[in-house]
Amino acid sequence: MSMKLMLIILDGMGDRPSEKLGGKTPLEAAQTPNMDFLAKIGISGIMDPIAPGIRAGSDTAHLSILGYDPYEVYTGRGPFEAAGEGLDLKHGDIAFRCNFSTVDEKMNVVDRRAGRIREGTHELAKALDGMEIDGVKVIFKESVEHRAVLVLRGDGLSPKISDADPHDLGPIHKVKALDDSEEAKRTAEIVNEFVKRSYEILKEHPVNLKRMEKGLMPANIVLPRGAGVVPRLESMEKRHNIRAGAIAGVSIVKGVCRLAGMEIIDVKGAKGSADSDFTAKIEAGMDYLKKGDMVLINMKAPDLFGHDGDPEGKKNIIEKIDASMEVLKDALDNTIIAITADHSTPCDVMDHSGDPVPLIIAGKGVRTDDIEVFGERAAAKGGIGRIKGGDLLNILMQLAGLSEKFGA
């Protein structure tokens, strides 16, 4: 009889020894009785999310962990953001992340985030969504605050183009082709036209007229960046014959899972932030497994503290997440549980590093080793040894009795 699979990804949890924590990593310094218990009854190891030394992004790491080759399917962040915002994408669509920004009449950016606009972006987005440029359909949707996603749908498009967003104050960038293809040239022209039209439409929009009356920055232009082509990912169901779901607060992880054909489970209180309701996420995951075979749960908070360079905060949030895992003991009878990270975000680096991440796997039938706590240096001595992210799903599927035999 097959078992269920729960894969918990503590985003950016891997770290390096911190002076502020007496030479321990945040995970080592944290009191984590629940994860320690799983380490004790299960097996530990370390994992290179993509390959040794590769500094993985959350998107490329999740792709790798779900068994896809990021070097093959990843051309930019745009498609995953757009899918994470709930847009139905087609293979070949070109997708971008965008900012609502503020420009003066000379097209100089005076505020990249349009005064961190919070209200009215839905109306602004509606004014741009659905337009056509040179036979290409424009799909546009607002995201949180000043962010938005843009999708171009049509023939003869390419993601090999530069950003309109200057990533700084000053003149907006004219989008250029990054190779000699006609497709890239044409796509660059279409995006430049979109940016121009966004200014013409938004500068007069009632939402902006009202903002200016109040002395707020108008969101009078849209600046796309991070172009990528929507890849064709064979769904988890087709590839592994499993029903898989995902719980994540941040759109980029939701987008990867959605493009992999996983069901996105919305959990009230799952916000992708430090005050996210971790218990609600775990419980929703256990609930999903009543019908599904596998669930991936991403908890974003540790990564945020890594980027902030705050080892104390990271240690505290890991403790809080661990406390939410008390209920996992009830699942061990019929579920293989794996806990790991998508990459390391060392507080001393304040960005993702290429260090491997710790991993534990526990459940009925899982071999054990001598490791009794969850931490980077303990895991490095564990029975799993060192694996690549692309191996993880095979290992878990096998333990859950969900994989096919290769050969006779």
CA atoms of 36 and 381, how far apart (whole Å): 15
* φ, ψ (nearest 5 deg) of residue 100: -75, 125
Contact in structure between 255 and 81 (CB atoms under 8 Å): yes
Nearest CB to Zn ion, comparing residues 222 and 248: 248
Q: What's the number of CA atoms in the CB half-sphere (13 Å) around residue 322?
A: 24
Sign of CA dihedral 11, 17, 22, 27: positive
| Least distance in angstroms from the C-beta of 12 to Zn ion | 5
Which residue's Cβ lies closest to Zn ion?
A: 58
What are the Cα distances from residue 123, in Å, to 100, 206, 255? Answer: 12, 9, 23
| Least distance in angstroms from the C-beta of 359 to Zn ion | 15
CA atoms of 293 and 330, how far apart (whole Å): 17
CA atoms of 96 and 15, how far apart (whole Å): 31
Q: Which of 150, 142, 128 is closest to 227 using CA atoms?
A: 150
| Least distance in angstroms from the C-beta of 33 to Zn ion | 25
Sheet of 357-362, strands arranged across = 263-264, 244-247, 294-299, 4-10, 335-340, 357-362, 43-48, 385-388
Query: Which tokens go with 38?
Result: 């799983």
| Least distance in angstroms from the C-beta of 77 to Zn ion | 12
Nearest CB to Zn ion, comparing residues 293 and 342: 342
| Least distance in angstroms from the C-beta of 254 to Zn ion | 13
| Least distance in angstroms from the C-beta of 61 to Zn ion | 6
Nearest CB to Zn ion, comparing residues 65 and 177: 65
Nearest CB to Zn ion, comparing residues 12 and 346: 12
Nearest CB to Zn ion, comparing residues 11 and 355: 11
Nearest CB to Zn ion, comparing residues 11 and 15: 11
| Least distance in angstroms from the C-beta of 217 to Zn ion | 27
Footprint on this chain of Zn ion (rule: CB under 5 A) = 11-12, 58, 303, 342
| Least distance in angstroms from the C-beta of 404 to Zn ion | 31
CA atoms of 26 and 232, how far apart (whole Å): 38
CA atoms of 82 and 1, how far apart (whole Å): 38
- 297 Cβ partners below 8 Å, 6+ apart? 6, 7, 8, 9, 246, 247, 248, 281, 282, 285
Nearest CB to Zn ion, comparing residues 15 and 303: 303
Nearest CB to Zn ion, comparing residues 120 and 249: 249
Nearest CB to Zn ion, comparing residues 161 and 299: 299
| Least distance in angstroms from the C-beta of 332 to Zn ion | 27
| Least distance in angstroms from the C-beta of 304 to Zn ion | 8
CA atoms of 293 and 315, how far apart (whole Å): 32
Nearest CB to Zn ion, comparing residues 11 and 48: 11
Contact in structure between 139 and 150 (CB atoms under 8 Å): yes
Contact in structure between 42 and 361 (CB atoms under 8 Å): yes
